[in-house]
Chain A
Amino acid sequence: MMTDDSVQEVAAQITRWFSDLFDDLVQLADESAAAMATARGRLSSRDLKAIEPAAGRFLDKHPEHEAAGIILRPGIIGAQGEIEWWNREADGRLRTLPFTLTPNTAGFYDFETLEWFSNVITTGRPTLTGPYVDYAGMDKYIITTTVPLRDGTAAGGPAGAGDIIGAAGCDIEMRALEPALMPLLRRIDADAALVSQHDRIVLGNSGRFLVGNRVTSPPAQAHIVELPVHELGLRLIAAPAENR
């Protein structure tokens, strides 16, 4: 039978997994801001390259993640914004991924309107977006997690205190998230699912809860635990197992 203990215990472990991830994203943001800061007081595109070691450290610690980096708001450097997004290739080298930031082109990556960017900019809060098919971005089925990136230049004050100039974040493919979290979910002796703030299933432990589907009304006899990770709105839902 489903016990409250096992659901609570798994909820605590998933909470820890995401908390650790966001701690490392905050570190990526702080290190990136510090690395870009120059005495000149105004960022230029040359300063972006300085974040490579920070992105590399993050990806080394989170090898299951596809890519990580920073995104700058339009007007901080260029008029269309900047995406400095790194991934580690099979040969171990880091490289930046190209994105099309020219409006009115077929592959235009309109990141300003995407939740992982707009929510961080308008609320200043960490955000988890997805699962979603990242058209014109990674072109994969992923989750994106982001935290605010604050101005670290002399004009902006010490790192972590300045204005929000963009976001630091990372992408994980659903294929790669599954082995990280499924063993935990499978410890619950019930049909269980991790769902996002929009009631979308991130991962389910049975054929009943398929990734991407939404759970808009709670199943019968459901046990629901809110995961206290920032204010992401993540929940763990467990309901007595059913067979089909």
Chain B
Amino acid sequence: MGQLSGVQSQVFRPLPDILRSDAIVERLTTAITLGLLRHGEQLPVENQLTAMLGVATATVRDALQTLRERGIIETRRGRSGGTFVVAAPAPEPDVLRARLVNLSMAELRDLADEQTSNGMAAARLAAERAFAADFERLSDIAGLIAQADGATACMRADFRFHIELTVLAQSERLMQNEMRLLSESVEILWSVLDWREDRARAAEEHLAIVDGLRAGDVSAAQTAVRDHIAHNTYRLVQRRLDEMYPAGAAR
């Protein structure tokens, strides 16, 4: 990108510290909710976090303080001291609703487009690169969601399947994309879906992807990925429209 237009320079203006602190809180909360950071796990020390996140020490401190107040992390003094994850926060309905409503129709569709692209690419590479044993393992993981007991458990099982599918592609870049895409979408998705109804459908759709891979049928696996994401997207769009623009008639 060369010279920035006026509009673009607005986009890249420095974020106020409060927004950066909020962004750190949101990112860590999502990571803990999804199980990327587990109960009991120690966070990097303050100046490591400062360097990794590229923000001021005070900003990191603010974020950690917020997480501490919410009971998500705890800081202990002494020889075996440090900051530890002590609770997995339940996603707050209001926060998730705000995240959904804030995505326009165009942005929701675009998010689905990127998820579909990444998922289809991972399916193709997995078909070429993975072994029979990999597909057996993936098949077991695909079905886990059918037994998940609650929205949070469904969300974690869903997350796990898509990550494990991407693992089979042998690509760090595809994995980073998938992590980012899931972090943006999977909590919102399971706040919209009805876990009792939808967990069986999710399991079926996951298994359809694995069946395609097992059969060496790249196009069947990719079609299953596309249909799975299209199905979820339809539900996200419907919910957002109902929230933002309640229909006049009994719709």
Interface residues of A (CB under 8 A from B): 66-67, 87, 89-90, 95-100, 105-107, 131, 138-141, 174-175, 178, 182-183, 186-187, 189, 203-208, 210-212, 241, 244
Contact = CB atoms under 8 A, between A and B. Distances in A.
Contact of B5 (A98, A174, A203, A241): A98
B2 A100 contact: yes
B238 interface: yes
A178 B2 CA distance: 30
Contacts of B234: 207-208, 244
Interface in B215-251: 231, 233-238, 241, 244-251
Nearest to B103: A175
Given A211-B109, A241-B251, A244-B234, A174 B7 contact: no
A205 B2 contact: no
B106 interface: yes
Contacts of B235: 207, 244
B204 to A, nearest CB: 15
A182 B8 contact: no
Contacts of A182: 105, 241, 244-245
A96 B6 CA distance: 8
Contacts of B248: 186-187, 189
A48 B248 CA distance: 47
B5 A189 contact: no
A175 B109 CA distance: 12
A87 to B, nearest CB: 6
Contact of A210 (B8, B105, B231): B105
B104 A100 contact: no
Nearest to B13: A90
Contacts of B238: 206-207
A99 B104 CA distance: 27
B10 interface: yes
B121 to A, nearest CB: 20
Given A182-B244, A208-B234, A211-B109, 17 more contacts: A87-B6, A97-B7, A107-B1, A107-B2, A139-B5, A141-B106, A175-B104, A175-B106, A178-B105, A186-B241, A189-B250, A189-B251, A203-B105, A206-B241, A207-B233, A207-B235, A210-B105
A95 B246 CA distance: 37
A106 B235 CA distance: 40
A138 B5 contact: yes
18 contacts: A66-B7, A87-B6, A138-B5, A139-B5, A139-B8, A140-B7, A174-B105, A186-B247, A186-B248, A189-B248, A203-B105, A205-B241, A206-B241, A207-B235, A207-B237, A211-B105, A211-B106, A244-B231
A95 B7 CA distance: 10
A28 to B, nearest CB: 20
B107 interface: yes
Given A174-B105, A206-B237, A186 B245 contact: yes
Nearest to A6: B249
